[in-house]
Amino acid sequence: MINFSNFEKKTKIIFKDKSLLEQAFIHRSYINENPTTKLSHNERLEFLGDAVLELIVTDFLYKKYPTYTEGELTALRSALVNAVIISEVATKIGMNDYLLLSKGEAKDNGKARQYILANTYEAYVGALFLDQGIEAAEKFIHKNLLPKTEEIVSKKLWRDAKSLVQEKAQEFVNFTPAYKVLKESGPDHDKNFTVGIYFGPSLIAEGKGQSKQEAEQSAALAALKAKNWLD
């Protein structure tokens, strides 16, 4: 099995129960491919970690932004705990090197891996909570995820870009934005889309994503930047 000692050194968190740490990194596909193993996949830990993560992030945001409304706090929390951000954090701390996956899943480095990494991060939070309590989980999340908050707030990434660009376009140029897929590439399980955002006949900006919705949000954000409408 995988030796997690280097990971423990990197995170400076030494688990008392090593089996909990190991379980956090085991994807269901690995168990399906190795049915005789006595190991368990990480989905129960993920369930627990998701709740612990949400509580810690909610508490942090509630205290840090006392003037924000419930709706604004909810949007900010959603922006912070989405799969893209969490998988970036998981990759940065080296979780990708320790995943236990089926041979098929191990070859896929697209959108599916992003979700696996985000789920593994949550499972790790659940395992850490069980092993060392809420304070250890809070310290871990404060160290590697919550610093992302400043960027999300400063760039207004917590606001829905499509809604904001529609509001601004109607206010300043009297157009309702339209979106058009300009390019599709990649296999069905790992598609990439390039979408253009138009004000009338004019192409304002382009965005890329692994779904049409993601590409539209990216294009909307690019249009907001191009028009200097983010302030």
Residue type, 67: T
The predicted structure's pLDDT at residue 82: 86
Average pLDDT along the chain: 90
Using one digit for the tens of pLDDT, what is the confidence trace for 130-146? 999 999 999 999 999 99
Query: Contact, 220 vs 165, CB < 8 A?
Result: yes
Query: Contact, 206 vs 222, CB < 8 A?
Result: yes
Our answer to whether residue 88 is catalytic in this structure is no
Percentage of the chain beyond pLDDT 90 is: 62
Question: What CATH number has the domain spanning 5-154?
Answer: 1.10.1520.10
Using one digit for the tens of pLDDT, what is the confidence trace for 88-121? 999 999 999 999 988 877 777 666 788 899 999 9
Helix (H, G, I), strand (E, B) or coil at 181: strand
Q: Say which residue, 47 or 82, is predicted with more confidence.
A: 47
Catalytic residue (one of 122, 131, 138, 216): 122
Model confidence, pTM: 0.73
Domain locations in the chain as residue ranges: 5-154, 161-226
Q: What value does the mean pLDDT take over residues 143-166?
A: 84
- Is there a shared CATH topology between the 5-154 domain and the 161-226 domain? no
Whether CATH 3.30.160.20 fits 161-226? yes
The predicted structure's pLDDT at residue 162: 87
Catalytic residue (one of 50, 105, 138, 216): 50
- Total Cβ atoms within 10 A of residue 34: 12
CA distance 204 to 195: 11
Our answer to whether residue 50 is catalytic in this structure is yes
The predicted structure's pLDDT at residue 231: 61
